[in-house]
Structure 1
Amino acid sequence: MNTLINGIHHVTALASDAQRNVDFYVGILGLRMVKKTINFDAPDVYHLYYGDEGGSPGTILTFFPYAGLTRGRKGGGQLTYTAFSIPTASLSYWMDRLAAFNIPYAGPYQRFNESYLRFEDYDGMGVELVANNEDTRPGWDNGKVPAEYAVRGFHTVSLNEFRIDQTVSLLTEVMQHRLVAEETDRYRFQAGAGGSGTYVDVLFTPKDVRALQGAGSVHHLAFATDTDDTQLAIREELLTAGYNPTQVLDRNYFHSIYYREPGGILFEIATNPPGFAIDEPIAELGTSLKLPEWYEPRRAEIESGLPPIVAEAK
């Protein structure tokens, strides 16, 4: 079988304040804002994309910041922690940096022979930094966080599940993932060629409270596929397996299908092309508000209703 899924494409979450969200992910974590656009389904709300210099699949964390949104609750049926990859030599740098910005963190902890830090953003979203020397993706030098210490992209995501058997079946029998490690009640699956950005950790947490969605909650997890054809092929696999994926939706920068995994987490399959440079040069990514063509006639109205934001590293 051809490779249909080759890792994580992006993670999308909810926030309560656009500027504070930018301050955390650009200002403190040193990610690049690669696209400033709107929620295509709710044009009065930003859709903010952060990632590496070019917005590569596997580095992209996105947010819908709904002003004043009530905070969510971590629990079962949810992606609870999004882990980024950092070089091993940068672990102490990040401990010092988080402390300098008064971001409480826990760790370093050990898991699967890797060290990691755990903390939360301003809305309570779970974030981890995993130190490893196997990730060869370049870091982005934003002028504040040196490239040699910079976040490389995703490492893994943690899915808390009340039951895992059906979720594991979906990942391994339909979505081409392989079990590569297990530790207590954590099972690590890998897609494609493996390595940082291809891992999904499934946690068996039967005593969890049920998650509540809100600010700080992950809305969905998107997996990467190479082309429209491979997306359609995985869609057929999902239909055959009894799932109910949506029709293909045009998200301007990728094409998407969505479906629920058995534990209730919303999954997406997103195409790698056309990418974020389709409507602005890489050097200018994230510097101006980009709208899909069908919203351009309403630009003045949409811009007037969005709060101004400034993206700069601290």
Structure 2
Amino acid sequence: MFENGLHHVTAFSGPAARNLDFYRGVLGLRLVKKTVNFDDPGTYHLYYGDETGQPGTILTFFPWEHAAPGRVGIGETQETAFRVPRASIGYWAHRLLAHGVTHEAPAQVFGETVLPFRDPDGLALALVGTDADGGEAGWAGGGIPAEHAIRGLHGVTLLLRDAGPTAAILSGVLGFREVGREGASTRFRSDAHLGGAMTLRAVGDFLPGRPGAGSVHHIAFRAADDAAQAEVVRKLNEEHGLVVTEQRDRNYFRSVYFREPGGVLFEIATDLPGFAVDEPAAGLGQALKLPPFLEPHRAEIEAALPKVA
């Protein structure tokens, strides 16, 4: 059984400098990799996470200077949530207000305290206060006291016409189990502390999503290695009749992609080799890193990218 939870979430954003200011300066996440979209090197691919960039802590962005806003609809991720200690929700409510970030009132969702807010592009985010101790250390290098720092991903909420077909993939292939229902929402959990929560919100007929700044492109689930990934692909093919891409080397993990029945783009990403494969852990995110096939084009790529710190 596949039981490792989320690996990362990838979204679109507006200007890279503004994105960096928010995720590093306000949320205190570490920029663990500054590279480009391997399939479209005219834009950055920015990876944020914990101190070492471990799977389950990563939120990534394709930033565009003049991106049109996206629209959340069925077949998309409605909200991305981070884990923080339950006692830190008050700290974060004050911090967000101090930085001009409007947030909603804290609410109880599936027995957990949730503080919803949005980033500068309108991406729906939340901080979830939890007492569960997964042994994750808070990182103080981002200006947030370690005791209050974001630990990693809590999970995502998917907006769907019908939750049933997606639930079958979560429970039958990806190692999640249903743990509760509240209104139109069904919560699934894996055994992972980081990225172990999936919420399916079934809304029937609704507007489809539109890609753009503030929308999520895909969500990725962990596979320990190539063999574990191949087993997931087998189950998707043989037991659910889903078409999966060939494996693609993303330098820091190896990936396959497929559309789950509700329309959301899912990725299965290997844990290895990790973000320290091309720069030391102490220097993560400082230099622009390119895959070998793009390295000969570094000068033109750097000339086309906006300057960021």
TM-score by length of 2: 0.97
Please tell me whether residue 214 in structure 1 is matched to residue 212 in structure 2. yes
Q: Which runs of 4+ in 1 moved over 4 A?
A: none
Determine the structure 2 residue equivalent to 1:243. Answer: 242
1:113-262 correspondence to structure 2 within 5 Å: 113-135=111-133, 136-142=135-141, 144-191=143-190, 193-240=191-238, 241-262=240-261
Q: CA deviation at 1:207?
A: 5.0
Unaligned residue ranges in structure 1 (runs of 5+): none
Work out whether residues 225 and 270 of structure 1, in 8 Å CA contact, stay in contact via their aligned partners in 2: yes
- Of all paired residues, the percent bearing the same amino acid is 48
| SS of the residue 1:147 aligns to | coil
1:136-155 CA deviation, whole Å, 9 max, x = no partner?
A: 31111125211110000011
Work out whether residues 37 and 289 of structure 1, in 8 Å CA contact, stay in contact via their aligned partners in 2: yes
Q: CA deviation at 1:172?
A: 1.4
> Equivalents in 2 of 1:104, 1:273: separation in Å?
37
Determine the structure 1 residue equivalent to 2:265. Answer: 266
Work out whether residues 10 and 222 of structure 1, in 8 Å CA contact, stay in contact via their aligned partners in 2: yes
1:100-140 CA deviation, whole Å, 9 max, x = no partner?
A: 11101002111111111111111110000001121431111
> Equivalents in 2 of 1:250, 1:51: separation in Å?
20
Compared CA separation, residues 187 and 252, structure 1 to 2 (3 A): same
> Equivalents in 2 of 1:181, 1:137: separation in Å?
25
Determine the structure 2 residue equivalent to 1:42. Answer: 40
> Equivalents in 2 of 1:232, 1:194: separation in Å?
20
Q: CA deviation at 1:24?
A: 0.8
> Equivalents in 2 of 1:264, 1:112: separation in Å?
25
| Structure 1 range deviating more: 212-221 or 177-186 | 177-186
> Equivalents in 1 of 2:252, 2:143: separation in Å?
28
One of 87, 90, 97 as aligned partner of 1:89: 87
Determine the structure 1 residue equivalent to 2:63. Answer: 65
> Equivalents in 2 of 1:206, 1:139: separation in Å?
39
Tell me which amino acid in the other structure corresponds to 1:130.
V
| SS of the residue 2:147 aligns to | helix
> Equivalents in 2 of 1:207, 1:89: separation in Å?
39
Tell me which amino acid in the other structure corresponds to 1:4.
F
Count matched residues. 307
Q: CA deviation at 1:86?
A: 0.5
> Equivalents in 2 of 1:143, 1:167: separation in Å?
36
1:185-225 CA deviation, whole Å, 9 max, x = no partner?
A: 1111122x243421111111125322211110000000001
| Structure 1 range deviating more: 24-33 or 199-208 | 199-208
Compared CA separation, residues 204 and 243, structure 1 to 2 (3 A): same
Tell me which amino acid in the other structure corresponds to 2:83.
S
> Equivalents in 2 of 1:194, 1:291: separation in Å?
31
Work out whether residues 102 and 117 of structure 2, in 8 Å CA contact, stay in contact via their aligned partners in 1: yes
| SS of the residue 1:299 aligns to | helix
> Equivalents in 2 of 1:209, 1:197: separation in Å?
27
> Equivalents in 1 of 2:173, 2:129: separation in Å?
30
| SS of the residue 2:295 aligns to | helix
Work out whether residues 4 and 226 of structure 1, in 8 Å CA contact, stay in contact via their aligned partners in 2: no
Work out whether residues 5 and 223 of structure 1, in 8 Å CA contact, stay in contact via their aligned partners in 2: no
Q: CA deviation at 1:21?
A: 0.6
| SS of the residue 1:107 aligns to | coil
Q: CA deviation at 1:288?
A: 0.3
Q: CA deviation at 1:275?
A: 0.1
Tell me which amino acid in the other structure corresponds to 1:225.
A
Work out whether residues 86 and 129 of structure 1, in 8 Å CA contact, stay in contact via their aligned partners in 2: yes
> Equivalents in 1 of 2:155, 2:294: separation in Å?
35
* Cα RMSD for the two superposed structures: 1.1
TM-score by length of 1: 0.95
> Equivalents in 1 of 2:142, 2:162: separation in Å?
45
| SS of the residue 1:124 aligns to | coil
